[in-house]
Amino acid sequence: MSAVDSFPSSPPGPPFPLGAATTLAELARDPHARLALLRAHEPVSWLPELGGWLVTRRDLALSVMRDAVTFTVDDPRFSTAQVVGPSMLSLDGDEHTRHRDPFTAPFRPRQVREGFASFIERETDRLIGALEPAGAGELRRAFAGPLAVAVVTEALGLAGTTADTVLSWYDAIVRTVSDITAGQEAGPAGAAAYAQLRAAVEATVADPDGASLLLSAAGPLTVPEVASNAAVLMFGGIETTEAMITNALLHLLERPDQLALVRADADLLDGAVEESLRLEPGAAVVDRYATCDTVLGPATIRRGDLVTVSLTGANRDPAVFPDPDRFDVRRENARLQLAFAHGPHYCLAAHLARLETRIALQRLLERLPALRLDPDHPTTPHGLVFRKPPTLHALWDSPGVPSAQPG
Give the mean model confidence (pLDDT) for residues 4-8: 41
| 80-107 residue pLDDT tens | 888 899 999 999 999 999 999 999 999 9
pLDDT at position 254 is 97
**Mean pLDDT of all residues in the chain?**
92
| % pLDDT > 90, the chain | 81
What is the DSSP secondary structure assignment for residue 301, as one 8-state letter?
Answer: E
Is pLDDT at 402 greater than 80 in this prediction? no
Is pLDDT at 12 greater than 90 in this prediction? no
Q: Is the dihedral of CA 211, 217, 220, 223 positive or negative?
A: negative
pTM: predicted TM-score of the whole model, two decimal places: 0.92
Give the mean model confidence (pLDDT) for residues 125-147: 97
Is pLDDT at 306 greater than 50 in this prediction? yes
Give the mean model confidence (pLDDT) for residues 254-267: 96
Domain spanning 17-395: CATH superfamily? Cytochrome P450 (1.10.630.10)
| 222-248 residue pLDDT tens | 999 999 999 999 988 999 999 999 999
Separation of alpha carbons 46 and 108, rounded Å: 38
Q: Where are the domains of the chain?
A: 17-395
Q: Name the residue with higher pLDDT: 22 or 184.
A: 22
Give the mean model confidence (pLDDT) for residues 59-75: 98
Is pLDDT at 73 greater than 80 in this prediction? yes
What does the radius of gyration of the chain's CA atoms come to, in whole angstroms? Answer: 21
Q: Minimum mean pLDDT among 235-244, 268-277, 311-320: which range?
A: 235-244
Residue 134 CA, distance from chain mean position: 30
pLDDT at position 51 is 95
Residue 63 pLDDT grade (very low, low, confident, very high; cuts 50, 70, 90): very high
Give the mean model confidence (pLDDT) for residues 65-84: 94
The answer to whether 249 and 364 are in contact (CB under 8 A) is: yes
Is pLDDT at 14 greater than 80 in this prediction? no
Q: What is the dihedral of CA 158, 162, 165, 167, to 10 degrees?
A: 90
pLDDT at position 406 is 43
Q: What letter represents residue 253's amino acid?
A: L
Is pLDDT at 114 greater than 90 in this prediction? yes
Which three-class secondary structure state does DSSP give residue 4?
coil
pLDDT at position 11 is 59
Which three-class secondary structure state does DSSP give residue 295?
strand
Q: Judging by DSSP bridges, how do beta strands 299-301 and 294-296 pair with one another?
A: antiparallel
